[in-house]
Amino acid sequence: MRATTDGSTGALPPRAPSAGETTAGKSGTTEDGRSAAAPDPEAAAERAVGRATAHLLSRQDSAGWWKGDLETNVTMDAEDLLLRQFLGIQDPELTEAAARFIRGEQRGDGTWATFYGGPGDLSTTIEAYVALRLAGDAPDAPHLAKASAWIRERGGIAASRVFTRIWLALFGWWKWEDLPELPPELIYFPKWFPLNIYDFGCWARQTIVALTIVSAKRPVRPAPFALDELHTVPPVAHHHPYRKALRALFDRKPRPPRPLAPVTSWDGVFQRLDKALHAYHRVASRTLRGAAMRSAARWIIERQENDGCWGGIQPPAVYSVIALHLLGYDLDHPVLRAGLESLDRFAVWREDGARMIEACQSPVWDTCLATIALADAGLPADHPQLVKAADWMLAEQIDRPGDWTVRKPQLPSGGWAFEFENDNYPDIDDTAEVVLALRRVAHPDPRRVDAAVRRAVRWSVGMRSRNGAWGAFDADNTSPFPNRLPFCDFGEVIDPPSADVTAHVVEMLADVGRTHDPVTRRAVDWLLAEQEPSGAWFGRWGTNYLYGTGSVLPALAAAGIPGSHPAVRRAVGWLEQVQNDDGGWGEDQRSYQDKERWAGRGASTASQTGWALMALLAAGERDSDAVRRGVRWLAGTQRADGSWDEPYFTGTGFPWDFSINYHLYRQVFPLTALGRYVNGGPTVSTQGA
């Protein structure tokens, strides 16, 4: 029995056909087990490739890039409204547009989830509720009353994550002293000292430096309303004559202290460290603290990108604006003005007038994946749109140092970032895929491409960790301490090597002729050692075992591992085992929490079916029944315009905690898989293991 996408157990319900989907193949079977009415997979694939190629070409920007919407959850939209409330820059039109989007994402049980079809999430529901209150929705309105009742049943505000309570503390809805302490003096920790800022992953580092200032300042703006109804105690009616007295009594009531873990455990050590930091907050030298906050501010300003954002992602930008504003930077200051303008560029306006905030934007990633998909689909290598894409990618190569030089100070630059503007944080994953894309294009200036590829390969090789594998942004970002801080209760805050990133680098190294390089062979050995007992590989940046396996098998094939290798056979067996009855593949985000029930399980999606097919094709399984069924599923679910529909979230920011629906994934990965099926793709080596 498989688990359903709504969390109940039992067989997956029949999947409703997508727009343009056929039901061919469901009446009778031939002697080989195929459906009598099923279309020939090769002919169906060729037709699908033609339609998908035309559709993807039509979506290219005139500048040469592709970018699909990057959908996460409504905390982005809620926090945007809270920021505007804190700064006093509310805009009625923006508020209503955000509220329209947030209301539209509420589920029937009154909650908001972090991914499509997922369970209600307490912190997300609290933030969405508060945002709608800011937009003028009444607390006794049916949709908010249902949400507040659900929130209380699950522990109320007190049970929410730290980041949610920080937002509430900004308005006095939570007490600063009841939050974990994060001192700005952290900025002075040397690079070799535990818990220095470079022990954190780059996304966490940018956020934490800003929050040290906020934590030290402990600001409180007047709250526009009370949130009594989100506490587990019975709410006090707003018209109650003794409301203020009752609330004051509740606020003075001491909360039971959290039981301390044994001092011999790491949890116990860090709980006591937090208590010590709270005590330090009361006695900290004003001179030292002021100097630390000024140093943190300089660090923040030095990392502001040319377009005003920080790291190309929304959360650090929001907290950096708040931190600098608390230090006296007014909203007309060039730094803050540029920062606020950059936040507006994260907004996606929908046809119904709703406004969705992207956590970040993915043009480099989308462009290199689209280029690979079109090239593998058979588009001529010198096609003008591929050349234009290559020109845009070449112009985006980063030639300046960033935070990665802290651990690799002598390494010349040469990577690519994920976003439009993020020169301080190029990443290994984008760099590997851009190289693979550029080498598929017949550019009129091949020497320019070759020079860019050489710089990229040199940088990527130099960024490997001591174990021979690669993380996304930094080398050896593996300290065990940051994740244990009481402050860090949401998402991954370090950047250790992962199978998916390492696989993409291996594939790149093989593509440039370094198959037998010791660096490549050591990485292959690491990948083989990381294989799960099931035969799959864990996916750090995509959901999940389907993504990891779909990344690793093409890399192993490119590196000369034959299809007969035991690791490859185990992976093929796993993919065949988890294929859905409809012929597609899918995996729910819950596999990050419950591997036994959810690994490789979920409603079929276009992107995940693409990953599975890419893996099977690389393993030499082109003529297998599993591949034929997967190809038919993709061809049958393609819409009339050549696209695929995919409401499910198949991308990963933080495993389980932060899920992503990359809207271009549903186009590029099916096209890549079908193109390789039609035209040939990564082939298995004839050499021995």
pLDDT in tens, 519-568: 999 999 999 999 999 999 999 999 999 999 999 999 999 999 999 999 99
377 Cβ contact list (under 8 Å, min separation 6): 49, 52, 53, 671, 672, 674, 675, 678, 679
Q: Which residue has the higher pLDDT, 450 or 268?
A: 450
Distances 214 to 167, 223, 339, 493, 659 between C-alpha atoms, Å = 11, 17, 17, 19, 26
Distances 577 to 485, 610, 655 between C-alpha atoms, Å = 40, 16, 24
pTM of the model: 0.89
Two tokens, residue 392 = 């845009």
The secondary structure of residue 651, as a DSSP letter, is E
With cut-offs at 50, 70 and 90, classify the pLDDT of residue 217. very high
Residue 396 has pLDDT above 80, yes or no: yes
Q: For this structure, is 429 an active site residue?
A: yes
Contact between 539 and 500 under an 8 Å Cβ cutoff? The reply is yes
- Report the C-alpha gap between 532 and 293 in whole angstroms: 45
Dihedral sign (CA 482, 310, 438, 667): positive
Rg of the chain (C-alpha set): 26
Contact between 625 and 581 under an 8 Å Cβ cutoff? The reply is no
- Report the C-alpha gap between 441 and 439 in whole angstroms: 5
Residue 626 has pLDDT above 80, yes or no: yes
Please state the rounded mean pLDDT for residues 352-365: 96
Two tokens, residue 246 = 């009752």
Contact between 677 and 45 under an 8 Å Cβ cutoff? The reply is yes
User: Helices (DSSP H) in 363-444: which residue ranges?
Assistant: 363-376, 384-395, 428-438
Residue whose tokens read 């292959």: 524
Residue 256 has pLDDT above 70, yes or no: no
Q: Which residue has the higher pLDDT, 5 or 569?
A: 569
Residue whose tokens read 């094939």: 557
Of the residues 429, 495, 500, 588, only one is catalytic, namely 429
Residue 268 is predicted with a pLDDT of 62
Please state the rounded mean pLDDT for residues 54-74: 97
With cut-offs at 50, 70 and 90, classify the pLDDT of residue 490. confident
With cut-offs at 50, 70 and 90, classify the pLDDT of residue 33. very low
- Report the C-alpha gap between 65 and 435 in whole angstroms: 15
With cut-offs at 50, 70 and 90, classify the pLDDT of residue 279. confident
Contact between 552 and 571 under an 8 Å Cβ cutoff? The reply is yes
With cut-offs at 50, 70 and 90, classify the pLDDT of residue 234. low
Residue 38 is predicted with a pLDDT of 66
- Report the C-alpha gap between 535 and 547 in whole angstroms: 13
Q: What's the whole-number average pLDDT of the chain?
A: 89
- Report the C-alpha gap between 314 and 316 in whole angstroms: 6
Residue 457 is predicted with a pLDDT of 98
Which of these CATH numbers, 3.40.50.300, 3.40.50.720, 1.50.10.20, 3.30.420.40, describes 71-253+262-357? 1.50.10.20
Q: Show me where the domains of the chain are located.
A: 71-253+262-357
pLDDT digits (tens, 9 = 90+) for 454-489: 999 999 999 999 999 999 999 999 998 888 887 777
Residue 676 has pLDDT above 70, yes or no: yes
Strands (E), 358-481: none
